[in-house]
């Protein structure tokens, strides 16, 4: 293809899969007869709007026919969708606009009130004569009743029941009066051509309809993947943070955290929920492991017995319980048991039990 008249996007017809789609014009090879294009439909949906993208030489080479070109992806995309239902489409902006301005002469539909002579000339029907009957009533009132004549010698239009009426005339009227208008560009595209009323043509039209539906489904799937990736990126950028420094390694840091939780209760609860876990027990253990330094956890137990600090009396304990209950179907009693067992086994974690066994 000559680079002088090439525009950024091209609507092409893939002869192998019999589908229309939009690709950057830089992907076209071999004077407009071939192009480089990925097989993956999702990858094509993500890359086809990038006009400056160079085609990968490892992509498959497809046989194509260039149907249309435009400098904007939106116009080319709309034209590609309309192209699924059309048979005559020009391959440039100028020819498309000139063709849209052409008006077609509407074929005359025969008037059902007239009938045709053997020579093909329309003959108007004769005016029917009406009879007026006077109905005598009282001496002062008279009523007239109009009686229409009964038609006689009527013959059916189609004498042979095995032959269907010729719909070629109606199809021409449909073709001349049907137009497809672009939604955004304002262009008018030629109407689809109805080939015939045979069974084979009907099957081909149904195949074309199925191809259009499949193409639309692939486009919707690619849009969903794009939206899903955008949502994931937003969630990662808005990851909740703990309102105080962690892990807590001293009594001073613990007091500071308790003071912060007087005003930052909801943010700390949201952070606890975001930690998550396979179940309620795993969720509690993950929160405590991130919250307290391993050596500092030796100074606590749940109730505060045996000279240790009570975790139950801390403000953060109640917030952790609320967060886990909101995330899992569990009870407050079960969460308290998990917290107590976690502090009970603190010295056995991180190789503590194996070190004691070696010393013994």
224-238: per-residue pLDDT in tens? 988 887 777 766 556
Same domain, 198 and 305: no
Same domain, 219 and 258: no
Same domain, 234 and 255: no
Q: Is the pLDDT of residue 216 over 70?
A: yes
Sign of CA dihedral 116, 118, 119, 125: negative
The answer to whether residue 46 is domain-embedded is yes
- Beta strands per DSSP E along 217-288: none
Q: Measure the CA–CA gap between 240 and 268, rounded to whole angstroms.
A: 9
Q: Measure the CA–CA gap between 336 and 279, rounded to whole angstroms.
A: 15
Where does the pLDDT of residue 54 fall: very low under 50, low under 70, confident under 90, or very high at 90 and above?
Answer: confident
Same domain, 17 and 93: yes
The answer to whether residue 116 is domain-embedded is no
Q: Measure the CA–CA gap between 180 and 184, rounded to whole angstroms.
A: 12
Same domain, 189 and 288: no
Same domain, 179 and 271: no
Same domain, 68 and 204: yes
Q: Measure the CA–CA gap between 4 and 91, rounded to whole angstroms.
A: 15
Same domain, 234 and 337: no
Q: What is the mean pLDDT of residues 60-89?
A: 80
Q: Measure the CA–CA gap between 215 and 196, rounded to whole angstroms.
A: 25
The answer to whether residue 125 is domain-embedded is no
Same domain, 304 and 174: no
Name which of 347, 352, 325, 348 is nearest 336 in CA terms: 325
Per the CB < 8 A criterion, the answer to whether 184 and 56 are in contact is: no
Domain range for 311: 251-354
Same domain, 214 and 271: no
Q: How many separate helices (H) and strands (E) can be counted in the chain?
A: 11, 13
Same domain, 229 and 274: no
Least confidently predicted of 57-71, 98-112, 147-161, 234-248: 147-161
The answer to whether residue 134 is domain-embedded is no
The answer to whether residue 115 is domain-embedded is no
pLDDT of residue 183: 44
Where does the pLDDT of residue 200 fall: very low under 50, low under 70, confident under 90, or very high at 90 and above?
Answer: confident
Whether the model pTM is above 0.85: no
Same domain, 96 and 225: yes
């Amino acid at each position: 293809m000559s680079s002088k008249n090439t525009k950024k996007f091209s609507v092409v017809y893939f002869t192998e899969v019999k589908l229309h789609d939009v690709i950057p014009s830089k992907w076209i090879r071999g004077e407009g007869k071939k192009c480089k294009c990925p097989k993956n439909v999702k990858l094509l949906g993500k890359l086809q709007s990038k006009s400056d993208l160079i085609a990968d030489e490892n992509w498959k080479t497809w046989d194509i026919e260039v149907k249309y070109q435009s400098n904007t992806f939106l116009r080319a995309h709309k034209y590609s969708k309309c192209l699924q239902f059309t048979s005559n489409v020009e391959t440039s902006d100028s020819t498309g606009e000139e063709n849209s301005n052409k008006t077609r002469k509407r074929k005359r539909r025969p008037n059902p009130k007239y009938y045709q002579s053997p020579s093909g000339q329309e003959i108007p029907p004769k005016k029917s004569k009406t009879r007026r009957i006077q109905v005598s009533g009282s001496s002062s009132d008279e009523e007239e009743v109009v009686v229409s004549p009964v038609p006689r010698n009527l013959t059916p239009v189609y004498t042979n029941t095995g032959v269907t009426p010729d719909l070629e005339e109606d199809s021409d009227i449909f073709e001349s009066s049907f137009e497809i208008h672009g939604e955004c560009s304002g262009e008018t595209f030629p109407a689809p051509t109805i080939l015939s009323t045979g069974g084979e043509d009907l099957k081909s039209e149904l195949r074309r309809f199925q191809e259009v539906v499949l193409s639309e489904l692939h486009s919707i799937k690619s849009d969903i993947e794009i939206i899903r990736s955008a949502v994931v990126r937003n969630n990662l950028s808005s990851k909740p943070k703990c309102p105080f420094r962690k892990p807590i390694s001293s009594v001073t840091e613990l007091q500071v955290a308790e003071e912060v939780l007087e005003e930052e209760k909801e943010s700390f609860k949201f952070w606890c929920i975001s930690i998550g876990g396979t179940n309620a027990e795993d969720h509690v253990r993950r929160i405590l492991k991130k919250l307290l330094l391993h050596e500092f956890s030796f100074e606590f137990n749940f109730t505060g017995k045996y000279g240790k600090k009570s975790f139950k009396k801390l403000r953060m304990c109640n917030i952790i319980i609320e967060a886990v209950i909101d995330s899992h179907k569990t009870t407050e009693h079960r969460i308290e048991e998990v917290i107590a067992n976690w502090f009970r086994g603190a010295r056995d974690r991180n190789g503590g039990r194996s070190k004691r066994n070696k010393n013994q």
